[in-house]
A and B are shown apart, each in its own frame.
Chain A
């Protein structure tokens, strides 16, 4: 059976809203305040490969 994998950006207080800042949330875009580095990028790339 195919697996369903949920992948989320999340803050320390469990917020998952608008990490990219495109949804008009007043505190959106929080994920862009951090550089996840090459290992972080690789993880995201591997997810869809």
Chain B
């Protein structure tokens, strides 16, 4: 869904951001699209066991891999500890419905904040990496320490 949205919007655009985006390799994880559906320049289809394929991709030479949107894919990769950094642009709005990044049943994970930065519109950028050690008092056993 994210790919299709991007592929509809960006190829016809120009400018620094669009040119860069259009030129870079784009890995597309999909169970429904085939390589011939990927009309956006430099799109590469990834199929099969997503966690294994992404793990292989990370070991190939090349720059960092940026993954935007793609909720279901992100949830799968988080579940498999394949995400090195999580960047959130937090918008000052409560939507009240819609798909959430972390749903009930998500794996309990401690994150370490590496940057926080307010920008325009009351939006805050938060950058997290996985914490080396779990937060004290946090456990996966379901127990919760009294505050």
Contact = CB atoms under 8 A, between A and B. Distances in A.
Interface size class of B (residues with CB under 8 A): 35 or more
Contacts of A26: 97
A33 B94 CA distance: 12
B74 to A, nearest CB: 5
B147 interface: no
Given A36-B119, A40-B123, A45-B17, A10 B99 contact: no
Contacts of B63: 2
Contacts of A18: 98
A12 B67 contact: no
A18 B61 CA distance: 32
Interface string A2-19: 111111111111111111
Contacts of B67: 4-7
Contact of B95 (A20, A27, A43, A47): A27
Contacts of A44: 17
Contacts of A9: 88-89, 91
Interface size class of A (residues with CB under 8 A): 35 or more
A48 B21 contact: yes
B90 interface: yes
Contacts of B48: none
A20 B5 contact: yes
A12 B91 contact: yes
Interface of A: 1-20, 22-23, 25-27, 30-31, 33-40, 43-45, 47-49
Interface of B: 1, 5, 8-9, 16-17, 20-21, 24, 54, 57-69, 71, 74, 77-78, 82-102, 117, 119-123, 125
